[in-house]
A = this chain, B = another copy of it.
Amino acid sequence: MTSTPLSRSAAKDLTRRKLIRAALAILDEEGEAGLTTVKVAKAAGIAQSSFYVHFKDMQELLRVLAEEGGRRLRHSMREARRAAREAPGDLERHRDTFRIPLEAVCRHPELLRIQLRARHDPSSSLRDFAKETAAAYREHHAADLAALGYTADDEHGRRRLEMIADGINAATNALAIGHLEGRYPDLDEAADILVALSRGALRLLRSGSGRDEGPRPPGPDGPERHDQL
């Protein structure tokens, strides 16, 4: 139990990490309003005034938190895309396209919640972080669509792709939250729902670039294409 004495810089670094960890926990449990130098410092085991040895002010801590969180999420997402590419069959890959982002998001529940909150809070310092994260998710889905050959050439088509990515993204987050709250215990089931929703969107894209033409006879369409996303 006797710990080797740390060098000064190593000790400082440890304290800094404790502060960040404490801040993240408080942010998740009490929200941005509950995040004070008093609470963070106390939770990290140092005096309130010592907070300023590590950060200029709470702003700066939040900025660091956002950077760190962004890095973690992007890493999760990259992993997810890599794993999805390596999935065995077409069917598995299909569901994985949605299950893996779901899992990535669920792996950092506090970041997800913080992001969803900050997204629409004008007073939040994490708003940019939230917007960037949302944009990254949108790109993820947009890339999936592009990989299937659904590229948009006109304004209307681009907007349509963006709306679909936006909608699927929102649904992904909603199902992830539901999973974290215990309402949807099985992520595979959630992934199936996302697969189904996206299939509807693909049918729309296939139906041409114009407005929804109404009742479209569900004739035979390319089966391999039908199954990719």
Contact = CB atoms under 8 A, between A and B. Distances in A.
Interface in A178-229: 178, 183-184, 188-190, 192-204, 211-212, 214-215, 217-221, 223, 226-227
Contact of A203 (B28, B183, B189, B200): B200
Contacts of A201: 193, 196-197, 200
A32 interface: yes
Query: For the side of the interface on A, what is the size category?
Result: 35 or more
A31 interface: yes
Given A116-B119, A215-B226, A184 B163 contact: yes
B174 A192 contact: no
Interface of A: 28-34, 90-91, 94-95, 113, 116-117, 119-124, 156, 159-160, 162-164, 166-171, 173-175, 177-178, 183-184, 188-190, 192-204, 211-212, 214-215, 217-221, 223, 226-227
